A and B are shown apart, each in its own frame.
Chain A
Amino acid sequence: MSKGSTASGGEPRVQIPGGEPLVQIGGAADAAGAAGDCHEEWKKGAAASERSALDLASVRERLRNAKGPQFWRSLEELAATPQFEDMLHREFPRHAAEWPADGDGATNGFSRRNFLQLSSASLALAGLTACTRQPIEKIVPYVKQPEEILPGRPLFFATAMPFLGYANPVLAESNMGRPTKLEGNPEHGASLGATDAFTQAAILTLYDPDRSQSISNLENVRTWSALQAALKPFLDAQIAIEGVGIRVLTGSTTSATFRAQWDQLMGPYPQAQWHQWEPAGRDAVRAGSKLAFGEYLETRYDFAKADVVLTLDSDVLTAGPGAVRYARDFASRRKVSTANAPQMNRLYTLETTPTATGSMADHRMALPPRGIAGAALALAAALGVEGASAPEQDAELQRFVKAAARDLMAHRGRCVVVPGEYTPAAVHALAHAMNAALGNGGETVIYGDAVEVQPQDQLASLKSLRDDLVGGKVEVLFVLGANPVFDAPADLDFANAIKKAKIRIHHGLYQDETAEYCQWHLPEAHFLEAWGDARAYDGTASILQPLIEPLYEGKSQIEVLALLNGKADAKGHDLVQATWKGNGLTDATWRKALHDGFVEGTASPARSVTAQGAGIAQAIGDLLAASTPSRAGFVVVLRPDAAVFDGRFANNAWLQELPRPLTKLTWDNALLISPRTAEVMHLRQRELVELKLVSGRPVRVPVFVDPGHADECATLHMGYGRTRAGRVGTGVGSAAAALSDSTSPWLAQVDLALTGETYLLATTQEHYNIEAHSLGANLEGREAIEERHLLRVMTLGEFTQEPEKIREMVESPKPEDSINPPWTYEGYAWGLAVDLNACTGCNACVIACQSENNIPVVGKEQVDKGREMHWIRIDRYYGGDLDRPEIYHQPVMCMHCEQAPCEVVCPVGATSHSAEGLNDMVYNRCVGTRYCSNNCPYKVRRFNFFAWNKIEPNDAYSHPVQKLGRNPDVTVRFRGVMEKCTYCVQRINRVKISAEIADRKVRDGEIKTACQQACPTQAIVFGNINDPESEVAKWKAGPRNYGMLEDLNTRPRTSYLARLRNPNPELGEKA
């Protein structure tokens, strides 16, 4: 991968010498295409562009009101509306008048004469296509060719995506000034080249046409200066009273520049208050730290050193800051390659909701929240934490805890206990005590100073803000990037409280629910459009540099804060540079930091700390109370969603359509319950139930049976039920926030009522093997999976004894058995292998593939019909018992079979084998018989049943703005053709070409497929299997390697390394 050879010298790359934005976007005003600053043009409301701007605005408005889940169906409906047709006609004003203006226009309608004229004219024109007048579109050529930009050659810039304040380091790929893909930053410790799914999807948000595009005051378009003028009297009045009426609400932040701006603000307004609120934030983590150590400390783990890991309701491998690195370290201990004394870590998981982390567990037990509390206590007692005593528990849990404790103790200093972000603070405190008791402090558990610049108890902070609002103490309220009207606990009734502030200003990417309650809305610049800074989970700071001029009028949070400081014209770049120059960066190190993507040596140093006995004792007391059954009612745990998180990604269609890691649900959240709970409560799959807090409004949610879920409770994911998310996310799913209570935001005691209705939930995979006996699905599927040995699993012990058994599970024909001599590959022979022992099912690869290969989304109805387009899917299998299933993932992409069944049957040869063994797909040649898909045993081929990519202004994904985010190296497929994984052939060819120019062979590891690159656990390896020294060849030579459905003699190029389990002998083979 090439990076920009010099650091970005403090200017956004896209700023072309001469002042022209490379890409001209920014609303319809640009249609004029005139030279000059389009934003200025917009502000002035130039008469020429006003008309078309208004037209688009009205359509946009209509689109915004369209409901999310119906969105895909409503495209056509929308297109058929009179307004839409009206707009179309005005786009071609010359002929617009020829069509009747309204339906009943017999008089002013379309006369026969006109018809004949027109039809004869069009007939004549049909032969004269070359003479059509092209529309005048002024283009502005480069005055000077910008440095480093070569058409067709992407540039990479290091930056970071802030998420919950923490930096997710990335290398952003820029094609001709357009960011098109985000990769992890290989040099940054928090990424090591990998990313999570959210980061992969961020590109789509950048080009989201629903992002807010202008400053508005009560829905009217305004300018920055107007805002300034409007604010001035209020701010001036506040100076006298030290800013006592000023409140700023943000999300969590780690930005030193933001902090610096805030400190400046404290000068004139010392009484101003900064509140923070994240609905799925880290309050419990912070509180746990405070309880145990008396201060906010950042806890981080070193899984690379941990032989034994125990998680308490934690999805540490795929969620939360540092998850990407944690997954990598964890998986590094599971890549069992040699049969000689193979070693592997062991994971114990106690959790309520099945998570990706739980699916990796060697021993997993599902417990309701109070069970988790009890288990934590019992474990603490077994590990000798002072004062801890085990509550009464069932024998199975006792056995589990005893064995786990013994195992942990046997690995003192090389083990770790990980509490989940949404478990009570007491569990965190106790975990700190347990890790201390195990001698893990400074080994596998590292404590450092808080990474956030202003850690606080966010729930308390939000409550105090709400009290101040209701008390009329708030004059000016700034909401920066938070959305409390949507996601604050229901009992705070934030929508009503916020109205009490005299002047309310919302700043965000979207005109969301909170924006609706604010007089002013300011568009936020996407992190790829703005300067900023953020720190990763380990404290390493990154400078965020923009790759593109703001598409709309967005400003970053620090710029808005600077506006409060009276520096309306301050540039983000200068603010960030001032902060970091102040922190000791020189010009040279600033450039280096930009280039590298992080400021060297800023990782927070490890601190040695000791837990306070009093805090631990309090935690034990809290947990004793929590572990006893108390209030009546059905317990629902609220968790952030694996795709839309807390709702911030609700308008991201890639994420909405991403099959959630275990349920494989798309486009909805659901009440996840265990099969046993479903039986006991007589709940059917997809049945709508009504949930209600004791006081509060009811929420209707469909039931979804999720094997592996804890009994007697349920899970509902947050982030759904948005009312103003945009055309994709509005109205999708049910709002969990209505069940959130400020006394326990993530745990609701609800009343459940049946409605008798059912609801369509679109899943990409059914529970074929697991629902069998209790829920009426078929039993045969279970046998089918076993017989076919699709997924091969062994325990470490079995593997050590008989490593060859994995290969021998299925007898497959050998190439030499054929009467045809095998084809010999002279040059490269590309192949891929997936380590099932490392795959956590986190979905990063799925979105990475979607982003790299311009894969469209299809919408809920089409997913339900089985027409999703993902080139890579993660098959999820359950094993063993219905109530305590083992969970497995298997990423499936095209196998690039040596003897591909698809190739033989294509009548036009649109899919054929390349000389390097790729199964190529020739879109232009495909006529769409779908025979190849029928004949594909792996069902990895995807068909364009409709023109998913057809440009329609009412199509969120196909919006012209979205086109800017497409990978220019990959064809956008048309309707009626088949497509599938190509092993990222564009990447192969790019590297091959540069290798050929340099007159050398492609080096191993030089080509990375998109899925491989994104994978946090490095479960995927790609390379030349002709080279025995290549990583992929080594993987394939190992004893765990097998091919799926090899007995069909397809000889797949994609192979799998069998999953191993490392159960504790004390607990037996079962998970």
Chain B
Amino acid sequence: MALSEQEALHQAIVPPKPPFIAPGHSPGTVTEKISEIVLTRKTPRWWFVGFGIAFILVMGFLYAVTKLVFEGTGLWGVNIPVGWGFAIVNFVWWIGIGHAGTLISAILLLLRQSWRTSINRFAEAMTIFAVACAGIFPIIHTGRPWLAYWLLPYPNTMGVWPNFRSPLVWDVFAVSTYATVSLLFWYMGLIPDLATLRDRAQNKPAQIIYGMLSMGWRGGSRHWQNYETAYLLMAGIATPLVLSVHTVVSFDFAAGVVPGWHTTIFPPYFVAGAIFAGFAMVLTLTLPLRAVFGLQDFITQRHVQNMAKVMLATGLIVAYGYIIEAFTGWYSGSHYEHFMMLNRIKGPYGFQYAMLWLCNILAPQVLWIRFFRTNPVALWIVAMFVNVGMWLERYIIVITSLHRDFLPSSWGEYAGTRFDWMIFVGTLGLFVALLFLFIRFLPMISIAEMRHMAHQTAHSSGTKEKA
């Protein structure tokens, strides 16, 4: 197709953005390439090794949780004054990670950011698994986990309701709603692909299982019409959740009187932090997977760059949060706040606080440089910094605020015990194990949407992206 003069000029001045799907792909090749990973490729040895390691961590997790249930919260490092420790830190961290999926799927869908297509499935799965990991902690962190269901408002003979003034009850609603909607959204997106797998499956069990899961999807235009409408609606429902969940989680702290918790900046800063952490985790996982499965055609340089840019932007919001926190400590004139800030910097957790600045504020600044956005290894390292940094952020918020609050006579210190670490690492294992199962048994990139995109790309000029 010949270019018009104007177009040629435009192209000469403004270099074309790289496409979201490598040229040369047709719907057929897309389907072939993605479904092949699940259906025909032999399970590679590294899969067994990786899954095995993750599985062992899960066993360690189960051991630690069992011991915890039988012996008591005292196995952890928590004490008075630091009543919350790793469990809450991990909960907030995992929930934060779980944000990227829905953001990518829902908000970017609504904003018609079609580059999301190749990463949304994966990000959504990550969300589900992260939320699953997160959901464990509020339950096991209670002193009597077998009674944790008392936080649910259910009619009972005791005639007692939960205390609706408590942010922990809001948490129950926020997290459970988020988990439900994310799961439905993910599953709904999977249906056309499950049907594809059903159709292409070589053996009977796979056909039956995928067949049941695909719920009778035949790909008729009526199906597609309903599907598209419902999907969009779900995206609409999920979108406010992205903002609400971490806002509510931040209320766990903001509603308290503890200096370092009681602050209005928390909701926006937590949401930004969540997206920051979520994108870091998506990058942490996609970069190696892309390389291993050779999916560079679908998850292109542009995806990676976009994600890096989102990370940089949200990282700056988080930095703003930190700065405002420190500023408020001084400007408020409240000696509690003032002391809290000084204690963060100079107190026993000063090193962690410094590390937090390094990981969350300084490290992402390299993303201004193009090299760090495009070089997978460099970007992966930056993402790892952010993962660690975001965990430290919650650690700082939870522990440094509690360990020296109002009465100096009651000040204390906190350190996680080996059970704290076993459970934390155990959830990492659980997360990885679930991801391994996911990449082995489900299409990690949306086949249907990629087909659509391949079609569009093929029919467009190839030089201009269709919005």
Query: Taking beta carbons and an 8 Å cutoff, which residues of A are in contact with B?
Result: 765-766, 768-769, 778, 780-781, 783-785, 787-788, 790, 862, 865-867, 873, 875-877, 890, 892, 901, 904-909, 912, 925-931, 933-935, 937-939, 941-947, 975-978, 1044-1045, 1048
Query: Which of A784, A788, A890, A906 is in CB contact (< 8 Å) with B163?
Result: A906
> B339: which of A783, A866, A928, A938 is its contact (CB, 8 Å)?
A783
B150 with A1045: CB separation less than 8 A: no
The answer on a CB contact under 8 Å between A778 and B347 is yes
> Is A866 in contact with B79, judged by CB distance below 8 angstroms?
yes
User: Can you name the residue of chain A whose Cβ is closest to the Cβ of B79?
Assistant: A866
8 examples of A-B residue contacts, CB within 8 angstroms = A780-B339, A873-B409, A901-B257, A909-B160, A931-B166, A934-B83, A935-B258, A942-B80
Interface of B, secondary structure class, is loop
Contact status A977-B407, CB under 8 Å: no
The interface residues of chain B lying within 8 Å CB-to-CB of A909 are 160-163
Q: Which of A862, A904, A939, A975 contacts B410 (CB 8 A)?
A: A939
Asked if B257 contacts A937 (CB within 8 A), the reply is yes
A976-B406 in contact (CB<8A): no
B168–A907 touching, CB < 8 Å:
yes
| Docked pose: A977 CA to B81 CA in angstroms | 15
The 8 Å CB contact of A788, one of B161, B169, B347, B406, is B406
**B74 interface residue per 8 A CB criterion:** yes
Pick the residue among A780, A866, A927, A934 that contacts B143 (CB under 8 A): A927
B60 contacts A by Cβ under 8 Å: no
With a cutoff of 8 Å between Cβ atoms, the chain A residues found around residue B407 in the complex are: 790, 875, 892, 937-939, 1044-1045
Q: Counting CB contacts under 8 A, is B321 at the interface? A: no
* Contact between chains at A908 and B80 (CB < 8 Å): no
Give residues 278-324 of B contacting A (CB, 8 Å): none
B263 to chain A, nearest CB (A): 14
Complex Cα–Cα for A784 and B160 (A): 41
Q: Min CB distance, B340 to chain A, in Å?
A: 10
- Chain A residues in 8 Å Cβ range of B413: 866
Chain B: minimal CB distance from A940 (Å) = 8
Selected from B79, B339, B409, the residue in CB contact (under 8 A) with A865 is: B79
* A109 CB to nearest chain B CB (Å): 24
Please state if A939 and B144 are interface contacts (CB–CB under 8 Å).
no
**In the complex, what residue of chain A is closest to B347 when comparing beta carbons?**
A778
Once A927-B151, A933-B80 are accepted as A-B contacts, the answer to whether A905 and B258 lie under 8 Å apart by CB is: no
A601 and B397 alpha carbons, distance in the complex (Å) = 66
Q: Which residues of B contact A975 (CB under 8 A)?
A: 72, 143-144
Counting from the closest, the 5 A-B pairs by CB-CB distance are: A928-B143, A976-B143, A945-B74, A930-B83, A866-B79
Given A892-B407, A934-B256, A976-B142, also A904-B165 (CB < 8 A): yes
Q: Which residues of B contact A788 (CB under 8 A)?
A: 335-336, 406
B336 surroundings in chain A (CB, below 8 A): 788
Report Cα–Cα, A787/B337, bound state, in Å. Answer: 12
**Is the C-beta of B124 less than 8 angstroms from some C-beta in chain A?**
no
Segment 190-242 of B: residues with Cβ below 8 Å from A:
none
Contacts of A1048 in B (CB 8 A): 257, 406
- Contact A867-B80, Cβ < 8 Å, known A781-B408, A908-B163: yes
Asked whether B147 is an interface residue with its Cβ less than 8 Å from the other chain, the reply is yes
Are A935 and B406 neighbours in the complex by a CB distance under 8 Å? no
A944 CA to B83 CA, complexed, in Å: 11
Given A907-B151, A908-B163, A933-B83, A780 and B342 contact (CB-CB distance below 8 Å) = yes
Report if B5 contacts A (CB, 8 A): no
Bound-complex Cα distance A824 to B150 (A): 31
Q: Of residues A780, A905, A934, which shows the largest number of chain B Cβ atoms within 10 Å of its Cβ?
A: A934
Instruction: Kindly identify which residue among B73, B169, B257, B412 contacts A866, using a CB–CB cutoff of 8 Å.
Output: B412
CB pair B74 A867 closer than 8 Å: yes
How far is B408's CA from A877's CA once the two chains are assembled, in angstroms?
A: 9
A374 and B150 alpha carbons, distance in the complex (Å): 69
Q: Which of A783, A873, A937 counts the most chain B CB atoms within 10 A? A: A937
Instruction: Say if the beta carbon of B411 comes within 8 Å of chain A.
Output: yes
Q: Which residues of B contact A935 (CB under 8 A)?
A: 256-258
Complex alpha-carbon distance, A935 and B142, angstroms? 16
Is B72 a contact of A976 with CB atoms below 8 Å? Answer: yes
A799 to B97, CA, bound (A): 58
Known A867-B79, A929-B168; judge A937-B406 contact (CB<8 A).
Answer: yes
Give complex CA distance A977, B141 in Å. 12
B27 at the interface (CB under 8 A from A): no
Q: Tell me the complex Cα distance, A925–B163, Å.
A: 12
Task: Kindly list chain A residues whose C-beta atoms are within 8 Å of the C-beta of B464.
Answer: none
Instruction: Output the nearest chain A residue to B398 by Cβ-Cβ distance.
Output: A934
What does the 1/0 interface line of B68-80 toward A look like (CB < 8 Å)? 0001111001111
In the complex with contacts A778-B346, A877-B409, A939-B410, A947-B72 CB distance below 8 A: yes
* Contact among A877, A927, A938 for B144, CB-based, below 8 A: A927
Q: How far, in whole Å, are A778 and B403 apart by their CA atoms in the complex?
A: 14
A862 to B144: give the CA distance in the assembly, Å.
Answer: 20
B411 touches which one: A766, A905, A908 (CB < 8 A)? A766
Q: Contact between A939 and B80 (Cβ–Cβ < 8 Å)?
A: yes
